[in-house]
Amino acid sequence: MKSKKGAMIKTKKTMVETDVVEDMICDFCGESCKKDTGSKEIVKFEYGTLQASWGYWSGHDGEEVLLYVCEKCFYKIIDSK
Ligand SMILES: [Zn+2]
């Protein structure tokens, strides 16, 4: 088997733009879901979600709902049942 000489791989550095989540706001109280981790590098959000996909037999046929809820509001909702 002959070795192939002169083969060249060209590379190019590319900048990939990524979306970084800076903040998450609770849909109920409007407060940030960001938690203090004690580190500037570690950004942590704590939240729950309320999701619904209403169908024909509901009063909101075709409505898709996705709400982000902070820890405080989440348990307010759970505990108020
Ligand atoms: Zn909230």
pLDDT in tens, 3-12: 667 778 888 8
Answer yes or no: is 20 within a domain.
no
**Spatial CB neighbours of 77, under 8 Å, sequence gap ≥ 6:** 28, 50, 69
pLDDT in tens, 4-53: 677 788 888 888 888 878 899 999 999 999 999 999 888 899 999 999 99
| 48 C-alpha to ligand 1 centroid (Å) | 10
Answer yes or no: is 19 within a domain.
no
Answer yes or no: is 27 within a domain.
no
| 61 C-alpha to ligand 1 centroid (Å) | 27
Q: Which domain holds residue 54?
A: 34-79
* Cα gap 24→27, rounded to integer Å: 9
Answer yes or no: is 68 within a domain.
yes
**Spatial CB neighbours of 46, under 8 Å, sequence gap ≥ 6:** 33, 35, 70, 71
Answer yes or no: is 75 within a domain.
yes
| 69 C-alpha to ligand 1 centroid (Å) | 5
Answer yes or no: is 70 within a domain.
yes
Answer yes or no: is 4 within a domain.
no
Answer yes or no: is 8 within a domain.
no
Total domains in the fold of the chain: 1
